Structure 1
Amino acid sequence: MKRTPITRIALYLVLFAGAVVSVAPYLMTLNSAFKEPAQVLTTPAWQPAFPVTFDNFAQVWSEYDMAGFLLHSLIYAGVVTAGQVVFSTMAAYAFGRMSFPGRDALFWGYLATMMVPQIVTLVPLFLIMREFGLIDTYLGLILPTAFGTPYGIFLVRQYFRTIPRDLESAARIDGAGTLTVLVRVLLPLSRPILATLATITFITTWNTLLWPLIVTNGDATRVVTLGISALKGQYSSQYHLILAAAALALLPLIVIFLLFQRHIVRSIALTGLK
């Protein structure tokens, strides 16, 4: 259907408004992070910082071990992301391309666990980690989500199902085994969806607060979300430091998105094609 100039303009205005609503909180956080402590509460968040100060970043970096918190989050999110990509890919290949008794029932039963709220499994997971002596350790942080999630497996499985089976059949005729087909045929064609899964997993893990709050209790494993929440006291809060810490925590996510945005867009485009 042809779009008239008025329709096109209206569409762009709606998209622009959506972009402003989505980006504005991040811009206001970055802007307020450069304000002096008195200005944070006395000026609107969108008012440009004047004079610009970097003291907030220097203070939160030197006095509150922000470098350590960022490093812990990087290790936590990086290992979980690598585990999710590897194990979700293997499980997705089994559910999407291999045939075995009860495959579909097992897959849909596993997928149904997505409807279980995280709070329901929080206490059992904590008790398991305590029995294995993994409280306040990196293993305790990583293990619950490092071996794949229903969402990740479903995402990759659906993408695998769009790849023609003729490619796999041709590889098997040439003598390729299951692992060779997965590594040398399917994975090169699935880079967009794997990049999407890695990006979503990294951002979700980086922003996680509840599980690190439950399973860690020391500075040796404290992630950046806990570090930021510790700046908010019961009776007073240092908002200028909270905003500076939030801006520092936001930068790695922006870098990750800019690196993988091309693959994310391509995966969305390809999944819409037959």
Structure 2
Amino acid sequence: MSSTAVRRTLLYLALLAGALVSVAPYLMTLNASFKTTQGMFSTQAWTPAHPATFSNFSSLWSKYDMSGFMVHTLIVSVAITIGQVVFCSLSAYAFARMEFPGRDLLFWGFVATMMVPQIVTLVPLFFIMSKLELADTYRALILPYVFGTPYGIFLVRQYFRTIPPDLEAAARIDGAGTWTILWRIILPLSRPILATLATVTFVNSWNNLLWPLMITSSERTTVITVGISALQGQFASQFNIVLTAAAVALVPLIAVFLLFQRHIVRSIALTGLK
């Protein structure tokens, strides 16, 4: 076997090991959702459920408002995702294509706020929402994130800069305005990065715990992460119920990734080619 084949084999083995380490917790969570309480404590985490039971799912839906929590989370996540795709695209186009005084200084100053931990802004945000009488509402969950984030604007702006300026110049010669160029040229060419931004935003919104835990206090606005957190207290000794809830919460994230994975891979490939 040649040295190239040996290196390639070792590389694939390392990638396989990394994939197994990454996927193992999710497989164990799914496996645990089919175990009884006794089976959880009498077997190893990787031991297949035998016999498999669906009683955990029925108990979860009958004793706990899991469907309501998922609907709340879906509403918030979809609203934030749509808002970020729209506003990040507008901001990114301004920073990538338009000329105005202090553009680069403003952009890099805005991007620098990514270094500020989220915990620093939680208390001011809480007071702002309380003063506006928005606490425990969908608006309080959505407004802090819907108008874009430094990461999202940076991601889309860098992609916009890879689009040849000649396309925009040709469109302006044909009489196209800024909105026409953005809508009919830039955005159609940027579908891969917009799909990536939508996926990342949806996953982050779905998994967000700290802010919803602070700003909500009733079941009518409780999201899935807060619901599972409360579930850990209610079913502290029944880890199979808690892990069943975690497995249910994973389903929408897997569906979103499978839906947009082609665009995500394409965006990474195109960025790498640039």
Aligned sequence identity (%) = 67
Q: CA deviation at 1:238?
A: 2.4
Residue 120 of structure 1: aligned partner: 120
For residues 238 and 194 of structure 1, what CA distance do their matches in structure 2 show?
A: 41
For residues 28 and 233 of structure 1, what CA distance do their matches in structure 2 show?
A: 21
Q: Against the structure 1 CA distance between its residues 200 and 235, is the aligned structure 2 distance closer, same or farther, given a 3 Å change threshold?
A: closer
- Tell me, which stretches of 5 or more residues in structure 1 are unaligned? none
How well do the aligned residues superpose, as a CA RMSD in angstroms? 1.3
Q: Against the structure 1 CA distance between its residues 34 and 234, is the aligned structure 2 distance closer, same or farther, given a 3 Å change threshold?
A: closer
The answer on whether the counterparts of 2:228 and 2:242 sit within 8 Å (CA) in structure 1 is: yes
Q: Against the structure 1 CA distance between its residues 183 and 153, is the aligned structure 2 distance closer, same or farther, given a 3 Å change threshold?
A: same
The superposition leaves residues 160-212 of structure 1 with CA deviations (integer Å, 9 ceiling, x where unpaired) of: 00000000001111111101100100001100000000000000110000000
Residue 239 of structure 2: aligned partner: 239
Residue 50 of structure 1: aligned partner: 50
Normalization by structure 2: what TM-score? 0.98
Normalization by structure 1: what TM-score? 0.98
Q: Against the structure 1 CA distance between its residues 76 and 3, is the aligned structure 2 distance closer, same or farther, given a 3 Å change threshold?
A: farther
Q: Against the structure 1 CA distance between its residues 237 and 230, is the aligned structure 2 distance closer, same or farther, given a 3 Å change threshold?
A: farther
Residue 154 of structure 2: aligned partner: 154
Alignment of 1:1-274 (within 5 A): 4-233=4-233, 236-274=236-274
- Letter paired with 1:201: T
The answer on whether the counterparts of 1:231 and 1:238 sit within 8 Å (CA) in structure 2 is: no
- Letter paired with 1:259: L
For residues 38 and 237 of structure 2, what CA distance do their matches in structure 1 show?
A: 13
For residues 234 and 77 of structure 1, what CA distance do their matches in structure 2 show?
A: 26
For residues 241 and 235 of structure 1, what CA distance do their matches in structure 2 show?
A: 7
Q: Against the structure 1 CA distance between its residues 3 and 80, is the aligned structure 2 distance closer, same or farther, given a 3 Å change threshold?
A: farther
Q: CA deviation at 1:83?
A: 0.3
Aligned length: 273
